Amino acid sequence: MKTQPSLVTLALAAALAIPGCESGERAAAATMDGAGASNGAVVKGGDDRTGPYDPVAGWWKGAPDHDDEWGWGQVAGVAVDHPDRIIVVTRGDWPADRSDPREDRLRRTNYIVVANGNGEIVEQWAQWDSLFTLPHQVYINPYDPDRHVWVVDSGGGAGHMQVVKFTNDGSEIAMRLGERDHPKTREAARARSDWGPYTYGWPSKLAFLPDGSFLLADGYWNSRIIKYSEDGEFIMQWGALGTGPGEFDLLHGLAVDEDRVYVADRQNERLQLFTHDGEFIEEWPNIFDPVNIWLDENGAVWVLDASLNRILKYDRDGVLQDYWGAYGAAGAIGRGIWPGGLSLPHQMDMDEDGNLYIASYSGGWINKFTPKPDADPGRLLGPRLLLTH
């Protein structure tokens, strides 16, 4: 009698045959149990909403000056100094009741805060509150032994569109780039293509190189990438508004590997890749709302998808390998916020212990995720790729 293949065998073969995200890795992930362990056992249920990570429930706390009236507004960015020092930028406080329709919706404070390993706010850089309007992202240059803190302030029409570099403790400004005489509207910005190297149009992202130079994505209104020296001197720029190769419409992700620059071209729903000199290489199309790119030392390209509330994993050839994440601001059955839920994720970073931190912009919180004990290492973000030259 001829032996018939089992249903499990047929299902696995079918999954491996599907192109794109149903790669062998994704199919293998589907057989994992709720803890992410691939142990060959059939485990029922589960929805993989946080992938190979466990959310740390209740990690993000209120600031010392938050009360029944005021709480977190839009939490825009996160950068890890070390596991007990997490630096966060926000766009000011909102009424604790986030549905409050009052016109005085914003309290201009808590733009830069620092949390400890338990999510408690231990530093408030209130001395710089008057400097900012719309802080957008925060960074620590991984090549910098002094671990300066960088903040990109998108500014808005009335504010200062700028990049500010602070000492690690926030006591001093080490560098400040950005002209005050900038375009006041998106239409004004896009009516010209000859803005100077320090006249920004809602800047968004930074990426650093080992020699101290850095790239700025400029940004929401302008459509270019600018390269500066370690001292902030202009080196070069590339890009223009449009949909063609080398053109952008809202740059919102930036990363660099050994020979390529990765750019999240948000409104065009794609990643574009360039040489370090700005020459177009290729595009990875059909990526909906990409806002952050993380290159790890294992060769994976991780993309934060704001609208889908997902983290997407690609290989260096642009082939989708895996994804996880789910919306978590409210529940249709009235359960409200659940641990690990994302709400317009905006920036992510990782500490040396492999814990992942994600700023949920619309939700007003930072998620902390810890690797599940039996997680498949291939599904975890690896340490940030660091270049040697």
Task: Evaluate whether residue 334 is within a structural domain.
Answer: yes
Instruction: Residue 306: give the domain boundaries.
Output: 53-379
Task: Evaluate whether residue 37 is within a structural domain.
Answer: no
Which CATH number characterizes residue 168's domain? Answer: 2.120.10.30
Task: Evaluate whether residue 387 is within a structural domain.
Answer: no
Our CA angle for 139, 142, 143, nearest 5°, is: 130
Question: What is the distance between the alpha carbons of residues 128 and 145, in angstroms, rounded to a whole number?
Answer: 23
pLDDT value of position 8? 39
Is 374 exposed, middle or buried (CB count within 10 Å of its CB: 0-12, 13-18, 19+)?
middle
Write down the residue that tokens 């009052």 correspond to: 102
Hey, what amino acid is at 340? G
**SS3 category, 75:** strand
Q: Is the peptide bond before 334 cis (omega within 30 degrees of 0)?
A: no
Question: What is the distance between the alpha carbons of residues 15 and 7, in angstroms, rounded to a whole number?
Answer: 12
Question: What residues contact 152, with CB distance under 8 A and at least 6 apart?
Answer: 135, 136, 137, 138, 139, 162, 163, 203, 204, 205, 206, 216
Task: Evaluate whether residue 265 is within a structural domain.
Answer: yes
Task: Evaluate whether residue 64 is within a structural domain.
Answer: yes
pLDDT value of position 39? 60
Instruction: Compute the Cα dihedral for 169, 171, 176, 179 and give only its sign.
Output: positive
Task: Evaluate whether residue 13 is within a structural domain.
Answer: no
Task: Evaluate whether residue 41 is within a structural domain.
Answer: no
pLDDT value of position 320? 98
* pTM, full prediction: 0.89
Domain count of the chain? 1
Question: What is the distance between the alpha carbons of residues 278 and 290, in angstroms, rounded to a whole number?
Answer: 20
Reported in sequence order, the residue ranges of 83-143 that DSSP labels E, i.e. its strands, are 85-90, 93-95, 112-115, 121-124, 135-140
pLDDT value of position 103? 64
Q: Which residues of the chain are modeled with pLDDT < 50?
A: 1-37
Task: Evaluate whether residue 335 is within a structural domain.
Answer: yes
